[in-house]
Amino acid sequence: MTGLRENNLGSAQECLGQRFQTWRGGEFDLALCPVRGILDRLGDKWTTLILIVLAQRPHRFSEIRRSIPDISKRMLTQTLRDLERDGMITRRVFPTKPPSVEYGLTELGESLLEPVAQLVTWAETSQTKIAMARSAFDAAEASRG
Amino acid sequence: MTGLRENNLGSAQECLGQRFQTWRGGEFDLALCPVRGILDRLGDKWTTLILIVLAQRPHRFSEIRRSIPDISKRMLTQTLRDLERDGMITRRVFPTKPPSVEYGLTELGESLLEPVAQLVTWAETSQTKIAMARSAFDAAEASRG
DNA sequence: CCGGATCCTAGTCGATACTG
DNA sequence: CAGTATCGACTAGGATCCGG
């Protein structure tokens, strides 16, 4: 289905180029949807943060809230449910007196940490360049009126 | 500022864990913002697609539109401007009779392709597991009423 | 303690019409 | 051809109240 010849990619452009050609020939939207779905999820406000928090150790609901101070209960619940639905995290309920729930990464969730870490590393090393490009662009724009 | 000891990460969890600890101690939001900004951008509907298209070769405005059939002029313009502002793509205007503009990746933009390719690869290899987890979750949910 | 349900605002995106 | 401007639908997400 993919037509990708080697797993060991020499050049990122080539790799993506081949995939894109594959996508274009035939089912464009269908084949891209899973990737887009992943990116949408990672792109939302909280998924990555939760993943990072749970990467350290399993956490209870309130622990996560404390670790991510500006998240609302609503969004935490929702994001956790989405992640659980996608098989990225587990949800264990302890029927204690005040009920407690513990969330942890599944293997699938842990496997996602690697590409995410790559991206984080890239973002961290590139943030200076991005900031420079941004201010240069804004300055040029302002000078044009 | 980062306190990260090694560039060569042994374990993704450890790497992210260290970063997270760093983030927590001190300026939480500030230090994470660049990363979140990147993820937000990649998470939007079109950025990744445009990057993939331009990864093959420079394209003109209308060429990109044809390559991504369901994008509107408005969003293409906007996304291209954002990418240009962040220094990911270049914009060359040719003052021909019907004016033409060519977009291409900068080195920074190309360097982003690598982590993106990692993510695409991950998504592709994991989509089956995700789909299974999702249907299992939905089935369990439906049986609970 | 955990999280569902509801209401409401602010930003996002598509369609359309217009400019240079 | 390559945008810009305006409007309207849609939606994410915060606040709050309520239940187990």
In this structure, what are the phi and psi dihedrals at residue A62, rounded to the nearest 5 degrees? -70, -30
CA distance B9 to B24: 20
Q: Is A116 exposed, middle or buried (0-12, 13-18, 19+ CB in 10 A)?
A: buried
Q: Nearest to residue B83, comparing CAs of A45, A115, A35, A133?
A: A133
Q: Check residue B82 and give its pLDDT.
A: 96
CA distance B75 to B72: 5
Report the distance from CA of residue A73 to the C1' of nucleotide D16 in Å, as an integer.
11
Which tops the pLDDT comparison, B68 or A22?
Answer: B68
Using a CB-CB distance cutoff of 8 angstroms, which residues of chain A are in contact with residue B121? Answer: 9, 15, 115
Q: Are B89 and B55 in contact (CB under 8 A)?
A: no
Report the distance from CA of residue B85 to the C1' of nucleotide D5 in Å, as an integer.
21
Mapped onto helix, strand or coil, the DSSP state of residue A90 is strand
Kindly report the number of other CB atoms within 10 A of residue A64's CB atom: 19
Give residue B26's pLDDT band: very low, low, confident or very high (50, 70, 90): very low
B115 at the A interface (CB within 8 A)? yes
What DSSP string describes A76-93? HHHHHHHHHHTTSEEEEE
- Residue A98 pLDDT greater than 60, yes or no: yes
pTM of the model: 0.82
Contact B87 A133 (CB under 8 A): yes
Kindly report the number of other CB atoms within 10 A of residue B61's CB atom: 16
Q: Are B137 and A85 in contact (CB under 8 A)?
A: yes
Q: Check residue B40 and give its pLDDT.
A: 84
Q: Are A68 and A52 in contact (CB under 8 A)?
A: no
Contact A122 B134 (CB under 8 A): no
**Mean per-residue pLDDT of chain B:** 81
Give residue A30's pLDDT band: very low, low, confident or very high (50, 70, 90): very low
Q: Check residue B32 and give its pLDDT.
A: 61
Contact B44 A43 (CB under 8 A): yes
Q: Are B126 and A116 in contact (CB under 8 A)?
A: no
Mapped onto helix, strand or coil, the DSSP state of residue A58 is coil
pLDDT, one tens digit per residue, over A112-135 is: 998 988 888 898 899 999 999 999
Q: For strands B89-94 and B100-105, give the pairing.
A: antiparallel
Contact A108 B15 (CB under 8 A): no
Chain B, residues 26-65, CB within 8 A of chain A, namely 28-29, 32, 34-45, 48-49, 52-53, 55-56
Residue A118 in tokens? 């790559």
Q: Helix A47-56 vs helix A107-143: angle between axes, to the nearest 10 degrees?
A: 140
Give residue B24's pLDDT band: very low, low, confident or very high (50, 70, 90): very low
- Residue A110 pLDDT greater than 80, yes or no: yes
- Residue A18 pLDDT greater than 80, yes or no: no
